[in-house]
Homo-oligomer: A and B are copies of this chain.
Amino acid sequence: MFQIRTDLAVETSEKRPDGKEVSGIRVEKKKRGEDVVITKVCIDTQKAAKTLGKPRGTYVSIEADQMMEEDSGYHREISEIFSEQLKTFLPKDYRNAKILVIGLGNREVTPDALGPKVIDHLFITRHLLEEFGKYLVELDQCCSISGIVPGVMAQTGMETVEILRGIVAETKPDLVIAVDALAARSIKRLNRTIQITDTGIIPGSGVGNYRNAITEEHLGIPVIAIGIPTVVDAATIIADFCMGLMEENKSEPEEMEASVRSLISPKLNTMYVTSKDIDEAVNRLSFTISEGLNMTFVPRV
């Protein structure tokens, strides 16, 4: 009916319009302490991928209300859980890996600045290791970390994947970690959910061969994508509300669908919903992610 947009696998798997179960998906939920819920969604078949509009692969989401708190103690805890979950996506010998971390998004737009701000706080070590080697005592346990904020197409005139393919070819990392702000379907997940996936980043419906996807297929090395939803698509939220209304009033779906469609203007597709304190949320969450990356890849510093 409407294009319901969400970047979160946990939301896609949650609810099918027809209520039927989808085969080819496995969902595991577990709690950590009182507040943290970790959900693992595995999309195993191409058919399931098509049904859900998300590529095959593994998606872990960490949800916790305390991500919205100001207390830095809570954030340390989340950084640790995030680091632990991230490690389940890494190869065994990742301590010797060369990793390129990418901060996607537009630094000038507050809810989209998550990726760039994570790079700001990252311990960058590649140039030090290249110059001084592993003998550099304090860094002997650390990965080679490089980072880039490529900007968005309106700023560069280039597809992000073009920029990245060039840098990967030249600097030869073993692994890309791409950090990006995401769109959720529900405002209740905004600023309180971290998703880690091994599928990379595919725009749009997420299935098919997009020329601008940031994936292993396009970069030639594995891509782990990390994201936090900071916006909801405006058309999505309105369609969801209208559908809720229809259900409550037991209207004829077809009739209502037509009227909802007539109300949603194309302009709405260039709009998104975000929270009033998004500046503080993005500052805190970018720090939670960068701390988690630092404790994973550059311990003891």
Residues of A within 8 A of B (CB): 70-71, 106, 108-110, 119, 124-128, 144-151, 153-159, 162-163, 165-171, 187-188, 234, 237-238, 241-242, 244-245, 248-249, 251, 255-256, 259-260, 262-265, 267-268, 270-280, 301
Contacts and interface: CB of A to CB of B under 8 A. Distances in A.
24 contacts: A106-B279, A109-B279, A124-B156, A126-B157, A127-B159, A147-B157, A149-B151, A154-B277, A162-B170, A162-B171, A165-B170, A166-B167, A166-B171, A167-B167, A187-B265, A187-B271, A241-B241, A242-B245, A245-B260, A248-B262, A249-B255, A249-B256, A270-B277, A272-B273
Question: 8 tightest CB-CB pairs across the interface, nearest first?
Answer: A166-B166, A126-B157, A166-B170, A146-B157, A108-B279, A124-B157, A166-B167, A248-B259
A167 B163 contact: yes
B245 A256 contact: yes
Contact of A238 (B119, B238, B260, B275): B238
Contact of A167 (B162, B241, B271): B162
Contact of A166 (B71, B169, B280): B169
A154 B276 CA distance: 12
B171 A168 contact: no
Chain copies in the assembly? 4
Q: Report whether over half of chain A's contact residues are helix, strand or loop; otherwise say mixed.
A: helix
A156 B163 contact: no
Contacts of A162: 167, 170-171
Contacts of A259: 245, 248-249
Contacts of A234: 187, 237, 273
B275 A271 contact: yes
A74 to B, nearest CB: 12
